[in-house]
Amino acid sequence: MYVCLCQGITDGQIRSAIQGGCCTYRDVRIALGVGTQCGKCACVAKQIARETLGEE
Ligand code: FES
């Protein structure tokens, strides 16, 4: 599922970034560029990041 249409980022990419070493939503944002344009995806992206971090 696409989370960020501006940058074409999927939920899977967010999860992979966290598994690959990102420890916060901020890290994911820097690594993928998610939420850096219109910002509409920030809430959902943050939620996915939080869920994924909580699962680990
Ligand atoms: Fe992610 Fe616009 S949809 S910045």
Q: Which domain holds residue 6?
A: 2-55
Check residues 55 and 42 and name the one with the higher pLDDT.
Answer: 42
pLDDT for res 16: 98
ipTM of predicted assembly, 2 dp: 0.98
pLDDT for res 55: 65
Number of compact structural domains in the chain: 1
pLDDT for res 31: 98
Q: In ligand 1, which atom is closest to the CA atom of 37?
A: 4
Question: Exposure string (b/e) for 45-56, b if CB count within 10 Å is 16 or more?
Answer: bbebbeebeeee
> What residue ranges line ligand 1, CB within 6 angstroms?
4-7, 34-41
For the segment 13-46, what is each residue's pLDDT rounded down to a tens digit?
999 999 999 999 999 999 999 999 999 999 999 9
What CATH code is carried by the domain that includes residue 29?
1.10.10.1100
